[in-house]
Amino acid sequence: MKCGYVHCNLGKEVEREIAIKYEKKYYHTECFAEKQLKSEIESYFRENINTNEPVAQIRRYFAQYHLSYDLDYIMWCLKNKSQKLKYSAGLNYVLSDGKNIDEFNKIKLKQVELVFDNEFECVYNKIEPIKTKTIKKWGDYFG
């Protein structure tokens, strides 16, 4: 079966036994979780920060932010660091602040639980620190 998530990076094919069915579509578990988190971010922004901003504009900015930042980090910044935020375009300053990235990574590292097997192998949960992507500018090519 084909995964119903438009931005699926897992091969677009999903087995019916392990798929999640939601509104007549089948999803990978990771794709469904990402889709739900995106809708939570959008609804949180619309309810708590700016109710007048068009949905298309919110989605456009969050799609740009998702290229550089993890969705968990975006949601954390919206909930904890958006006191002065009025529009979705201003979230870029909150997301790119190094203090916020460090604080979020410290919180995530505290949440990591160590699980020991019988052979005392250390296995971490699937929580990873934020990886920021660098965007090359015009002057970087001539360098």
Annotate 35-98 with DSSP letters as a single string.
HHHHHHHHHHHHHHT-SSS-HHHHHHHHHHHHHHS-HHHHHHHHHHS-SS--SGGGHHHHHT-H
Helix axes 71-80, 55-68, angle to 10 degrees: 120
**Which residue has 């798929």 as its token pair?**
19
pLDDT digits (tens, 9 = 90+) for 48-103: 887 788 888 888 888 888 888 888 888 888 888 777 778 888 888 888 888 888 88
- Give the model's pLDDT for residue 9: 77
- Give the model's pLDDT for residue 70: 83
pLDDT digits (tens, 9 = 90+) for 98-124: 888 888 888 887 776 544 443 444 444
Rounded-to-integer distance, Cα 143 and Cα 130, Å: 28
The mean pLDDT value for 8-36 works out to 83
Q: Which residue from 14, 6, 68, 1 is spatially nearest to 34, judged by alpha carbons?
A: 6
